[in-house]
A and B are shown apart, each in its own frame.
Chain A
Amino acid sequence: MKLLLVLIAAVVLTVVLGQTAWQILAQPTPVDLRELVAEAMPDSGVAHPITAVLLNFRSYDTLLEIGVLVVAGMAGLSMRAVAPLEAPAMRTSDTLLQALLRWFVPFLLVLSAYLLWAGSDRSGGAFQAGAVLGATGVLLRLGGVPLDFLRPGLMLRLGLVLGFAVFLLVAVMGAIRGDMFLAYPQEWAGLLIVVIEAALTLSIAMVLVGLFAVAPAQATERDWPSREGKR
């Protein structure tokens, strides 16, 4: 009975959604955002439209978004019961992974830096770079590299809030200068965007690695017998 109801609901949702989307496709767009973006591009300080939208035209969204990431990271960290790092039983000692790490980690670090730098005039930017940097951290954790800065402490907190803090600082500086909140001074826009993006990259990577690092190995000493019993 439940199966039938859910299937009917899913089919109804699909049909209604599909029909709505089809109607939207058939209509001409009332405002062409592409033209608006293209017109404003010279003022943005960067040469790639998506980066311009993310960090200049709609930077309020991006500011709130990094805020959401910081909150998610903190919520994840507050969820851990015990110090989660080096539970030795959870470490991988796979020789292939160890060997690959030596090749991949420098490559991924360079790739991340390239993506960050490329964001100003082609596809790339803080989010892609942050995701790659985060993946590098996950890889290092899997390989059993301690990554001491992930322990609860000053480094972790700084890393988590750095992106949000720098972004907010730039936003408030605009307001203090008598301009609008989040308005960049025209001649500084390009530089400020690069600084914000670098800080964002670090923080995004920190949130992702932090969440990954708290997820496994939460077992306390008293759990080990029951765990082994299950195997």
Chain B
Amino acid sequence: MTPVQLYVLAGVLLCGLGFAGFLLTSHLLRKLMAFNIMGSGTFLLLVGLAQPNNTPDPVPQALVLTGIVVALAATALALVLMRRWYHLSGRTDLQGGPGD
């Protein structure tokens, strides 16, 4: 197995794991973590696929670099939203709301 195939396999597995975790967990924090695992899988797939002959391609690397920073900011925003939600409703999942 070449390193490229290993990256691709790991990326695909991370995507599958994240997807299952995202749907199975109900705690918002876990959902967020699962979603980030899925995102990491996508990044790994994107960078891993784009290096035929073991020389990396700068274009997907630049895309993933911006993607990582955006994912980080989006995660931070999601955490702020979650804390606000918890603050308002006292819940860590999305069943029901403050009105219940």
Partners in one complex: yes
- Give chain A's interface residues, CB within 8 Å of chain B: 2-3, 6-7, 9-11, 13-14, 17-18, 21-22, 24-25, 28-29, 33-34, 37, 49-50, 52-54, 57-58, 61-62, 65, 68-69, 72-73, 75-76, 79-81, 125, 127, 130-131, 204, 207-208, 211-212, 214-216, 218-219, 223
Q: Is B15 within 8 A of A76, CB to CB?
A: no
Q: Check if A14 sits within 8 Å of B80, measured CB to CB.
A: no
Q: Is the CB of B5 within 8 A of A11?
A: no
CB distance from A148 to the nearest CB of B (A): 21
State which of A14, A53, A212 has its C-beta within 8 Å of the C-beta of B62. A53
- Say which residue of B73, B74, B84 sits within 8 Å of A218 (CB atoms): B84
Bitwise interface map of B from 63 to 96 toward A, beta carbon under 8 Å scored 1, else 0: 1011011101110110111011001000000000
Beyond A25-B4, A215-B76, 10 extra complex contacts between A and B, CB < 8 Å: A10-B16, A17-B16, A50-B58, A58-B63, A61-B66, A68-B70, A72-B73, A81-B84, A208-B76, A215-B83
B interface secondary structure, majority: helix
Contacts of B58 in A (CB 8 A): 33-34, 37, 49-50, 52-53
CB distance from B7 to the nearest CB of A (A): 10
- B19 to chain A: which residues have CB within 8 Å? 9-10, 13-14
Interface-centre pick from B4, B5, B12, B17 (highest chain A CB count, 10 A): B12
Complex contacts, B28 vs chain A, CB 8 Å: none
Q: Are B20 and A6 in contact (CB under 8 A)?
A: yes
CB-contacts of B1-42 with A (<8 A): 4-5, 8-9, 11-13, 15-17, 19-20, 23-24
Bound together, the chains give a CA A126 to CA B40 distance in angstroms of: 21
Chain B residues near A218 (CB, 8 Å)? 83-84, 87
- Give Cα A80 to B76, complex, Å: 13
Judge whether A14 and B16 touch: CB under 8 Å: yes
Q: In the bound complex, how far is the Cα of B20 from the Cα of A11, in angstroms?
A: 9
